[in-house]
Amino acid sequence: MANAEVVLLDFWPSPFGMRVRIALAEKGIKYEYKEEDLQNKSALLLQMNPVHKKIPVLIHNGKPVAESLIAVQYIDEAWKDKAPLLPSDPYLRAQAKFWADFVDKKIYALGRKIWATKGEEQEAAKKEFIESLKLMEGKLGEKPYFGGESFGYVDVVLVPFYSWFYAYEVFGNFSIEAECPKLIQWAKRCSEKESVLKSLPDHKKVHGFVLELKKRLGIE
């Protein structure tokens, strides 16, 4: 498929946006990045995602694709001749989609509780968060990537949260590396890839963002 106009509506600290950035970079797709102010959403965003009004939204030849996992799958299918993210075997594809869904159900929501809550609620979130990461660590096993020998769909889906780990650790007062060393090794390995390097913000910047967000939301 010809690389016609590709636009990404995004917000720099969003792990969901990072997924799409990584996928586009993996495929070598040139695109226009548009930073959204989520306190003042653009007319374009509201027009392109009227249902959820959220980023990321990938716009290809004027046609919008919302929801990060759907956008990543779309990128994989529309530019299928380069760097396939999903395997070709249906069973392995199903496994990859299952784990992507698991990341969505657990990691983001639990991570948010870690920085947004205190006391028992925070402790419970930390515990479940680590359990979820350990489960994924087990799934990774001795492979370099979740995709096996090469970087794939689940790697794209999970690695953005690595840029948030520092913030989680500071606010949650715990060490993720101490609990999940193999997962951190994996994350560092992914970060050596240019597509990931270009797409993830500096973790101290993310921490600063969360500090400001907490202030704005009135969370101590």
Partner 1 sequence: MAEELKLLGAWASPFSLRIELALKLKGIKYQYIEEDLSNKSPLLLKSNPVHKKIPVLIHNGKPIAESLVILEYIDETWKNNPLLPENPYDRAIARFWAKFVDEKILQIAVKFRLAKEKEKEQIIQELGEQLQFLEKELEGKEFFGGESIGYVDVVAYFIVNWLQVQQEVRQIVFISEEKFPVLCKWMGKLHEIDVVNGCLPPKDKHYAYMRAQIEAAKSAIK
- Rule CB under 8 A: say whether 135 interacts with partner 1: yes
- Rule CB under 8 A: say whether 218 interacts with partner 1: no
Find the binder of partner 1 among 30, 37, 40, 91 (CB under 8 A). Answer: 91
Find the binder of partner 1 among 40, 51, 149, 194 (CB under 8 A). Answer: 51
Residue range at the interface with partner 1 (CB under 8 A); choices 96-104, 118-126, 151-159, 175-183: 96-104
- Rule CB under 8 A: say whether 14 interacts with partner 1: no
Residue range at the interface with partner 1 (CB under 8 A); choices 35-43, 86-94, 111-119, 158-166: 86-94
The whole-angstrom separation of Cα 199 and Cα 114 is: 24
Grouping H, G, I as helix, E, B as strand and the rest as coil, residue 57 is strand
Residue 35 pairs in a beta bridge with 10
Residue 10 pairs in a beta bridge with 35
| Closest CB to partner 1 among residues 47, 173 | 47
- Rule CB under 8 A: say whether 74 interacts with partner 1: yes
Grouping H, G, I as helix, E, B as strand and the rest as coil, residue 55 is coil
The whole-angstrom separation of Cα 203 and Cα 109 is: 19
The whole-angstrom separation of Cα 94 and Cα 152 is: 13
The whole-angstrom separation of Cα 116 and Cα 139 is: 28
Residue 7 pairs in a beta bridge with 32, 59
- Rule CB under 8 A: say whether 98 interacts with partner 1: yes
# binding residues, partner 1 (CB under 8 A): 23
Asked if residues 195 and 22 have their Cβ atoms less than 8 Å apart, the reply is yes
Find the binder of partner 1 among 4, 30, 63, 194 (CB under 8 A). Answer: 63
Q: Could you list the residues that contact partner 1 (CB under 8 A)?
A: 50-51, 60, 63, 65-67, 70-71, 73-74, 77-78, 90-91, 93-95, 97-98, 101-102, 135
